[in-house]
Chain A
Amino acid sequence: MTRSELPSADLDRVADLWGARTPHSKGSVWPARQDLRLEDGLQIDDVDHWVGSACVLCSNGCGCDIAVKDGRMVGVRGRVDDPVNHGRLGPKGLYGSTPWASSPDRLTRPMVRVAGRLVETDWETAMGRVVEVSRRLLEEKGPLSHGFYTSGQLFLEEYYALAVLGKAGLGTPHMDGNTRLCTATAAVAMKESFGSDGQPGSYTDIDSCDAIFLYGHNMAETQTVLWSRVLDRIEGEDPPIVVCVDPRRTPVAEAAERTGGVHLAPYLGTNLALLNGLQRELLQNGWIDEEWVAAHALGLEELRKVVDPYTPEKVAQICGVEADQVRRAAEVFGTTRDVLSTVLQGFYQSHQATAASVAVNNLHLLRGMIGRPGAGVLQMNGQPTAQNNRECGADGDLPAFRNWDNPEHVQQLATLWNVEVQQIPHWAPPTHAMQLFRYAEQGSIGFLWISATNPAVSMPESARIRKVLDGEQCFVVVQDLFLTETAQLADVVLPAAGWGEKTGTFTNVNRTVHLSDQAVAPPGEARSDLEIFQLYAREMGLTDKDGEPLLQWDGPEEVFEAWKECTRGRPCDYTGLTYQRLREGGIPWPASEQHPEGTDRLYTDHVFPTHTEQCETYGHDLATGGGVTEQEHRAIGANGRAFLKGSPYVPAHERPSPEFPLLYSTGRTVYQFHTRTKTGRARSLQQAAPDPWVELSAPDAERLGISEGDVVRVESPRGAIEVRARVGFVREGTVFAPFHYGSWDRDALSTTRQANELTMTVWDPVSKQPCFKTAACRVIRVRAGDGPSTAPTTAASRPVGALSPTRGGAATTSVTVPTPTYRLDPAGRAR
């Protein structure tokens, strides 16, 4: 990996993904470094003003300022005083934050479908059409005819408005977001283990851990700034040992080898067997804190029975790893003082997702390694505002981590919103995204409103999703920045304002809340998502039980104040926060009126929100998803203790066969985000990863007669793609395809690039997160390519052979600056 020296101007952050190192030793504050990018030709002095915000191009939530010139967003700089990033920004944030906003293909007027074609119209006509269909269906079929599918990219205020609209206004349980595809398992794993959603750990754990385990988490590409923080520890004194679980040889895997750790590359779909093996090693070797477990956790003996069969040899056989690697990884976990674990899509989007992610929590509970600096769990998010969707309940959960099955919790909301309890859907678990689309497929949902997400590209089994969206059985409203692949299939398209064009808050992986102020006006007639939801509520005449209009807020700050009331006394207490306070920088919740400074880590007292009256869920059986009843939960009597829950491994739903002999996984590259709505419109990023590819291992490629750059056809029982091959470092027997690529930047709707053509309609029984990482496929060489694949060479997709490196990002600046005091940073306090 290339490195640069400080201070530095003209830094190509396409070539240099993580920027220059600022090494530091264990327990010291991560040094500050300020990264900056302005449009070509602009200098600092040209900027009219800076507007405080945080980056939305991954889940890390880096504090930043938006540069504004002549009413346009022209760049970003990292905020040095922000506890999340200490001034840094990653390649996606630097290059991708602003160019999309002035892209000529922005949606600026509403559109409606007339005689099969989308045509521009005015708001009155478009919203008139929406309201007409909505009213008719409510009259004919009631609220169950309505579904809402939102995002991990809106602001807190918008999710809360949507949640009130759906639950108090219409009374539909059919609400979810694409967070189901990205962080549902994170939330559910925390609920099952600790009783409620809420990130136990903090990013500051990186600064003081002795080992860091990354489970299915290619942090080097998905959260580049967080990885900089890890790299700065690795290059400092007392570096942590890295252990990586990933079927690809990612930069994280290389770091594992460098630091004396282990890279475990299990067969796709076998994570739980591996984790059961690690838990067994801890138990067998006595690497557990019996006293702590007895005082603060339940279920040790049951867990012991479940994991007992998973000897290192058995794990080796199931997962295709060395038994000694399993022993070594367990030894690192079991004998190192402070361990930090992070988990992401390699677990969340894979087979037995919840059980495997809960097993990570178990490892920490067994050693009592939670609630103190350096010993934490980070169940990660994929998107910048996913946390808020989970908190606010636009994903179907009840707001502020309330339990839909707890009548008292439902009553609290009914009181808060002044509606009848029966109006709030709580007679069954909320509908998850995959089920929502099934209802839309059948037509029982006849009105589907999609905001800020692109299911036509991002959901599994694309052909099926296209049919659902395109069919006559369901009226589809899409609210977005651009005419995405999904919007092209809609009946009404509403132009939305994006980041920087509206004001609101959002919360990152480690609970840090940021305020993002409006920097510029949205283009044309585009409106903020909040305004759009409010317009609909007004036109529909949605009211509380006294006939007062719902969603009657004057701007986002009033919504935030209403939300604060909703969180009072809940685990995600926002009552100590104000817009004014947040303008000074990010603050992690809980931040009550008594402790408005916020909280760096949870569970420092080792008391978990598992009281029956308090918990967000009574829990589930991890194998089937069968629910625990209130009565059963009460009988267990957790009362503040965490749950140790285990489940046996079972093979994935689709396994290789003679017909489809290879395993297929989708994933990400460092230069693109989601379906490229923003990153694909940033020249530096798009040129760095312009086209889809598939990665094959060298032995598989040789067997199939495939060379670097050949055009290959990858087929599963559900579909096929034709892309160029990258002969790289994915595990033998496995094929990897990036999921970012649809067809919005092609002339015609093309389905031969889209990784999700091949994936399968199947989901985890507990988190309901669909599985993107366990399909079977075959690969056929179609023809020679006209050169090597354009897959990036800088990270996990690097080639086996020597190719010219990916580079050519526009100039950025990066300078070391004095490190300020971070109020909640344990290292800062210790000095």
Chain B
Amino acid sequence: MTHLATYVRLLHRSEQSLADSLRVVGVGHAAEADVFHTAHLLADWSDEHTRRLEPIAQRLTQASAAEEPQRMNHPPIKEIRDSAVGLPRDLQDLYLLPPSSRPAGRSSRARPKAPGTGSSRPSRRSAPRRPPVS
């Protein structure tokens, strides 16, 4: 039980961290329209994963107060590198972030079933998703 709680928390925090990092890179490199939009699409998937993990993570946290192993968390990406050459390095950083829905390849099994309409979407999506006008 102890380790399960630890690793569910890890998954939960990592999804959140990945979502945040995707948005930082997406917004930072918004001049690359596909980077902006794909990053947000994937961040939405991570939000959905986070939302679905939430009740389990809550329950397990209450059930267990075990200490976490060392070096559990990858810090999220807080800022982007400037210049076009910075982009591949930022994408590489994203790629190295856990967990399941990393932006490489296909992840159809990890995808939420049907995100539905705008109103039922996760609240973190409320920020306008419009790239800056050049």
Chain A contacts to B: CB under 8 angstroms: 302, 305, 308-310, 314, 317-318, 434-435, 438, 442, 444, 461, 463-464, 467, 621, 623-628, 648-651, 653-655, 657, 717-718, 761-763, 765
Contacts and interface: CB of A to CB of B under 8 A. Distances in A.
Nearest to B33: A761
Interface string B69-107: 000000000000000100000000000000000011111
A434 B32 CA distance: 10
Contact of A464 (B84, B105, B134): B134
Contacts of B133: 717-718
B55 interface: no
Bin the interface of chain B by size: 20 to 34
Nearest to A621: B106
Interface string B107-134: 1100111111110010000001111011
Contact of A624 (B103, B115, B130): B103
The 9 tightest CB contacts between A and B, nearest first, are A621-B106, A309-B114, A648-B114, A761-B33, A626-B106, A626-B105, A651-B118, A464-B134, A717-B133
Contacts of A434: 33
Q: Max chain B CB contacts within 10 Å: which of A434, A625, A626, A654? A: A626
A649 B104 contact: no
A302 B108 contact: yes
B56 to A, nearest CB: 22
B54 interface: no
Contacts of A621: 105-108
Contacts of A438: 31-33
A762 B33 contact: yes
A624 B128 contact: no
19 contacts: A308-B113, A317-B117, A318-B116, A438-B32, A464-B134, A623-B111, A624-B42, A624-B106, A626-B103, A626-B105, A626-B106, A628-B106, A648-B112, A648-B114, A649-B115, A651-B115, A761-B134, A762-B37, A763-B34
Contacts of B8: none
Contacts of B114: 309-310, 648-649
Given A442-B84, A621-B106, A717-B130, A651 B37 contact: no
Nearest to A629: B105
A380 to B, nearest CB: 25
Interface in B24-43: 31-34, 37-38, 41-42
Contacts of B121: 651
A648 B44 CA distance: 13
Contacts of B84: 442, 444
Nearest to A651: B118
Contacts of B103: 624, 626
B39 to A, nearest CB: 11
A650 B41 contact: yes
A757 to B, nearest CB: 12
A461 to B, nearest CB: 8
Contacts of B31: 438
Contacts of B41: 623-624, 650
Interface of B: 31-34, 37-38, 41-42, 44, 84, 103-108, 111-118, 121, 128-131, 133-134
A763 B111 contact: no
B113 to A, nearest CB: 6
Contacts of B129: 653-654
Contacts, number: 73
A657 B42 contact: no
Contacts of B42: 624
Contacts of A654: 129-130
B34 A765 contact: yes
A648 B38 contact: no
B106 A655 contact: no
Given A626-B105, A654-B129, 15 more contacts: A305-B113, A309-B113, A318-B116, A438-B31, A438-B32, A464-B134, A467-B134, A621-B106, A624-B38, A648-B115, A650-B115, A651-B115, A651-B121, A653-B130, A655-B118
Contacts of A314: 116
A626 B110 CA distance: 14
A648 B128 contact: no
Nearest to A770: B33
A442 B31 CA distance: 10
Nearest to A649: B114
B80 to A, nearest CB: 16
Nearest to A768: B34
Contacts of A717: 130, 133
Nearest to A435: B34
A463 B31 CA distance: 15
A198 B107 CA distance: 29
Nearest to A444: B84
B55 to A, nearest CB: 21
Nearest to A776: B130
A174 to B, nearest CB: 15
B116 to A, nearest CB: 8
Nearest to A307: B114
Contacts of A461: 134
A651 B33 CA distance: 17
A501 to B, nearest CB: 38
A310 B113 CA distance: 11
B47 to A, nearest CB: 13
A308 B115 CA distance: 13
A657 B114 CA distance: 23
Contacts of B112: 648
A64 B115 CA distance: 51
A651 B113 contact: no
Nearest to A318: B117
A295 to B, nearest CB: 24
Contacts of A463: 134
Nearest to A460: B33
A599 B126 CA distance: 53
A648 B129 CA distance: 19
A302 to B, nearest CB: 7
Contacts of B33: 434, 438, 761-763
Contacts of B38: 624-625, 765
Nearest to A660: B130
A655 B130 CA distance: 9
Contacts of B113: 305, 308-309, 648
Contacts of B118: 651, 655
A651 B111 contact: no
Contacts of A310: 114
A786 to B, nearest CB: 33
A2 B113 CA distance: 49
A650 B43 CA distance: 13
Nearest to B42: A624
B7 to A, nearest CB: 26
Contacts of A655: 118
A302 B106 CA distance: 14
A461 B31 CA distance: 13
Contacts of A626: 103-106
A465 to B, nearest CB: 11
B134 to A, nearest CB: 5
Nearest to B117: A318
Chain A CB within 10 Å — which of B31, B44, B117 has the most?
B117
Contacts of A649: 114-115
A444 to B, nearest CB: 8
B6 to A, nearest CB: 31
A653 B128 contact: no
Contacts of B108: 302, 621
Nearest to A624: B38
**Most A-side CB within 10 Å, residue of B32, B37, B41, B133:** B133
Residue from B31, B108, B111, B128 whose CB has the most chain A CB atoms within 10 Å: B108
Contacts of A765: 34, 37-38
Contacts of B105: 621, 626-627
